[in-house]
Amino acid sequence: MRRIYIFLSLLFFLLLCSQLTKIKQLPFFNRDGKLAYIQGSDVWVKLLPNGLPHRLTTDGGNSNPEWSHSGNWLAFRRNSQLWIMQYNGEKIRMAGEVVHVNAFAWSPGDDRIAYLTKAGELWAAHADGSETTLLAKNGIPGSEVKQITEFVWSPDGNWIVYSLREWPDENSNQNPPHESFRKVSSKGGMASEVYAISFKKEDVWEPGEIILAGWVDDQILFWQTEIMSASLLSDGASLYSLPVNREKQQAHNLDICTLVWHGIIANSSDKKLFAIAEGCGRESYTGKNIAVVNPSAGKSSSVTDDSVAAIWPSWSPDGRQIAYTACPDNGTTHVDEPITSRTSQRRIWVMDSNGSNKRKLTDDENYRDERPIWLANGRRLLFVRIDQDDKPSLWLINVGGGKLESIIETLSPKNPGERWPDNYYGYIKWSDCFNYSPK
């Protein structure tokens, strides 16, 4: 009997060890998700909260890390090229063997990626390089010149809408007389026009432009301006919505003006609503409120007041709360007044999704805190903290208790020792330097 007991105990121990080994081999056995970030121009990854950091590149010149839907793959820029690899650095490859990629984005529904080359070709492919499909391209069919400028994925990953500019001939220097959005299956096929603006040569005013912002529910979101001007565009533009799953629909002006920042739309967990920083004016530290928008109903409501300048909304996984960045709104800076006099007062806040129960989570005058992101467990926030020497780092904070934890000592997209490049108007494109995956 004793021998049988010892044998069964040993067998149980061996089975347990085998299962633990399998668990250790699972890259995402972690409820808090994982982080990809840039340090010294190289790509690093880390399981949150206390995993060891792993360096995946050593050549420098890397930026813009972005996790796939499953979290099994990671895309990033290497100078002007697009590279893709597995979470552990294996199976690394250059996407499409192209030298220059203008834009890329993962499908929200699976591990496919779409990218737009400098040559004007829009491609979609699986992360491993299979099922590579040309969706659209620039060209001169007949006497027209066409240029693809940007694209967005549908929430289910089945469709892509891209913007197309057309000129009457290749020698034309005037603004494009025709701009449109085209919808195409992400698996390939014929594209159909879903929206367009045009003008005639005898028109007195220059045409405006249309710029894709995102896709929420069955609506694409885009900015539209009355005049094509880079300077005027810096002060923001009106946001519109357009149903694309129904025929012959009209665009709807959502009656809000926002800065034209890509990647700033925060979708609710049910993907029916979104939050965004509203308010025109290129300065991000004044005249900005968080608005919650229902694009299908064409309704929006401000959930912060004019006493603060609020940006970077982030919706909690359960849809009940919104985290955001805010500082006192004291107007534009005066002559010779440094912008840091305003941005250094940024703190992390949380409120209920209807704007009630506002709570300040951070309040250290030695730091500037911004860009909150909810972890998968819904109990903690990841955010950027910038010290008085302009050194950015990544931290975690408990939403309920306010406990702080430093997890990445420094972010450095350029060479070590160089200062962080801050936009004059208080906006930093953090997507160039880190990306979070809940899986």
Domain containing 301 equals 270-439
Q: What is the mean pLDDT of residues 221-245?
A: 88
Q: State the pLDDT at residue 143.
A: 47
Give residue 297's pLDDT band: very low, low, confident or very high (50, 70, 90). Answer: confident
Q: State the pLDDT at residue 315.
A: 96
Q: State the pLDDT at residue 204.
A: 45
CB 46 within 8 A of CB 74: no
Q: What is the mean pLDDT of residues 251-261?
A: 92
Give residue 243's pLDDT band: very low, low, confident or very high (50, 70, 90). Answer: very high
Q: State the pLDDT at residue 296.
A: 87
Among candidates 359, 263, 310, 346, which has minimal Cα distance to 66?
A: 263
The dihedral through the CA atoms of 158, 160, 161, 165 has a sign that is: negative
CB 348 within 8 A of CB 369: yes
Give residue 57's pLDDT band: very low, low, confident or very high (50, 70, 90). Answer: very high
Q: How is 284-298 classified by DSSP, letter by letter?
A: TTSS-EEEEEETTTT
Q: State the pLDDT at residue 14.
A: 41
Q: What is the mean pLDDT of residues 342-367?
A: 95
Q: Distance (Å, rounded) from C-alpha 139 to C-alpha 377?
A: 47
List phi, psi (to 5°) of 347. -135, 165
Q: Is residue 248 domain-resident?
A: no
Q: Give per-residue pLDDT as tens, 136-166.
A: 988 655 546 788 999 999 999 999 999 998 8
The answer, yes or no, to whether residue 203 has pLDDT greater than 70, is no
Q: State the pLDDT at residue 13.
A: 40
Strand partners of residue 151:
162
Q: Is residue 439 domain-resident?
A: yes
Q: State the pLDDT at residue 326.
A: 97
210-231 burial code (b ≥16 CB/10 A, e <16): bbbbbbbbbbbbbbbbeeeeee
The dihedral through the CA atoms of 94, 190, 150, 300 has a sign that is: negative
The first and second tokens of residue 121, run together, are 């070709």
Q: Is residue 286 domain-resident?
A: yes
Q: What is the mean pLDDT of residues 239-259?
A: 87
Contacts of 345 (CB under 8 A, 6+ apart): 327, 328, 368
Domain total of the chain: 1
Q: Is residue 413 domain-resident?
A: yes
Among candidates 43, 38, 70, which has minimal Cα distance to 57?
A: 43
The first and second tokens of residue 147, run together, are 């240029």
Q: Is residue 419 domain-resident?
A: yes
Q: Distance (Å, rounded) from C-alpha 428 to C-alpha 299?
A: 29
Q: How is 84-121 classified by DSSP, letter by letter?
A: EEETTS-S-EEGGG-S-EEEEEE-SSSSEEEEEETTSE
112 CB-side CA count, 13 A: 23
pTM over 0.85: yes
Question: Which stretch of DSSP H or E encloses residue 23?
Answer: helix 2-25
* Percentage of residues of the chain with pLDDT beyond 70: 84
Q: What is the mean pLDDT of residues 240-246?
A: 88
CB 416 within 8 A of CB 395: no
The answer, yes or no, to whether residue 19 has pLDDT greater than 60, is no
Give residue 421's pLDDT band: very low, low, confident or very high (50, 70, 90). Answer: low
Q: Is residue 128 domain-resident?
A: no
Q: Give per-residue pLDDT as tens, 170-193.
A: 666 566 678 899 999 999 999 999
Q: What is the mean pLDDT of residues 297-320?
A: 94
Give residue 336's pLDDT band: very low, low, confident or very high (50, 70, 90). Answer: confident
Q: State the pLDDT at residue 17.
A: 42
CB 73 within 8 A of CB 87: yes
Q: State the pLDDT at residue 390.
A: 86
Question: Which stretch of DSSP H or E encloses residue 80?
Answer: none
Q: Distance (Å, rounded) from C-alpha 63 to C-alpha 167?
A: 34
The answer, yes or no, to whether residue 307 has pLDDT greater than 80, is yes
Q: What is the mean pLDDT of residues 289-305?
A: 93
Q: Compute CA 91 distance to the chain's CA centroid, rounded to the nearest angstrom.
A: 25
Q: Is residue 245 domain-resident?
A: no
Domain of 322, CATH number, reads 2.120.10.30
Q: How is 381-398 classified by DSSP, letter by letter?
A: EEEEEE-TT--EEEEEEE
Amino acid (1-letter code) at residue 144: E
CB 211 within 8 A of CB 262: no
Q: Distance (Å, rounded) from C-alpha 49 to C-alpha 47?
A: 6
Least confident of 22-26, 95-99, 304-308, 394-398: 22-26
Average pLDDT, the chain: 86
Q: Distance (Å, rounded) from C-alpha 63 to C-alpha 431?
A: 9
Q: State the pLDDT at residue 4.
A: 52
Q: Is residue 437 domain-resident?
A: yes
Among candidates 269, 382, 380, which has minimal Cα distance to 317?
A: 269
Strand partners of residue 115:
104, 123
* Percentage of residues of the chain with pLDDT beyond 90: 63
Q: What is the mean pLDDT of residues 377-384?
A: 95
Q: Distance (Å, rounded) from C-alpha 52 to C-alpha 46?
A: 6
Least confident of 13-22, 96-105, 203-212, 391-400: 13-22
